[in-house]
Amino acid sequence: MPKRSGSGSKFLDRRINNGMFCPNCGKQLNDNAKFCPECGAKTGGAQEASIAPSQPKPLVYRIAGEILQTVEIDLPQGERVFSETGGMVWMDASIEMETSIQKGRESKGALDTFLKAASRAIQGESLFLNYFKAENAPGTVAFASSFPGKILPFELKAGEAIIAQRGSFLAGQEEVDLAMEWRGAGAAFFGGEGLVLQKLTGPGLVFLEIDGELTTRDLQPGQSLLIDTGHIACFEASVTYDIKLQKGFKNILLGGEGIFLARLTGPGKVWIQHMTMPGLAGRLVPFLPFERGSGSKGFNINLG
């Protein structure tokens, strides 16, 4: 079965060309570049810049369902994918699972491993990771979203990155790097999602779980979009993110949209989720059992 493209992502079906890449952020460089135009790091030209990492093998996958989706990934013999703990639904008997606190095959020391695990916890992911490998024969492993919504696939080339909301990572090829993203003090303290954004960097295939349905906006250079911070699903790394104060005391006090809005500025693509988990939880509260002060339990009754 051919690989399915998801939600019009422009990252699907791309191929990586050989070239020089920044050893600090992974951005592709001109052959004789001495400084990276993305992060400013010194590269020293062709002698010191790193060669682009090889692209992982393309994987065949199928996304099934409408409200509570699953993704089935076919693994050739010897291939591995990883997920946070508790994400797997089923797997063929040929698939072997290994739980590890370490990301990837190589260890860079106990301190580095601990810091990366702590970073994952801050991002809303589990301390431990599960690796699934087709050890002696090809096989299939399936993962499911933990809440109603969509599973969004991205095939990232080397150095290409997606910035996503906290806790959205579902599964991916082991070459994908999962890190915490910092977008400035204003976004961190007033943006709600700003302090705990995730950065997923290629190469490799990665799947995100998104709350509810999706709207996609492709922003032109300099074009801005104001979004309630909880509704940001993910955006391309080329998009800038900051916080804008709502205008007018009446809007702030009575509008119900919060004091601050996220401002995303192009160029780049933005994925907007229609539902937020805190919003859904708030709507369910009137229907949940409650406990009285004396310790006896009762029920909230909504009369319409």
pLDDT at 259: 66
Phi, psi of 297 (to 5 degrees): -100, 155
Classify the C-alpha dihedral 84-174-177-263 as positive or negative.
Answer: negative
Helix (H) or strand (E) holding 59: none
pTM of the model as a whole: 0.69
Q: How far, in Å, CA of 243 to CA of 258, rounded?
A: 12
Residue type (1 letter), 86 = G
Distance CA 183, CA 218 (A): 20
**The two structure tokens encoding residue 252:** 């702030």
Question: If DSSP codes are grouped into helix, strand and coil, which group holds residue 189?
Answer: helix
| Rounded mean pLDDT, 44-68 | 72
pLDDT digits 0-9 by tens, 144-157 = 998 889 999 999 99
Q: Which two tokens stand for residue 86?
A: 């508790």
Residue 234's nearest CA partner among 246, 247, 216, 219 is: 216
**Class of residue 153 by CB neighbours under 10 A (exposed 0-12, middle 13-18, buried 19+):** buried
What's the topology of domain 53-282? Double-stranded beta-helix (3.60.160)
Could you state, in order of their start, the residue ranges of all structural domains in the chain? Answer: 53-282
Q: How far apart are the first and last CA of the chain?
A: 48
pLDDT for the residue 289? 80
Q: What is the mean pLDDT of the chain?
A: 75
pLDDT in tens, 260-304: 788 999 999 999 999 877 677 777 778 878 665 555 555 555 444
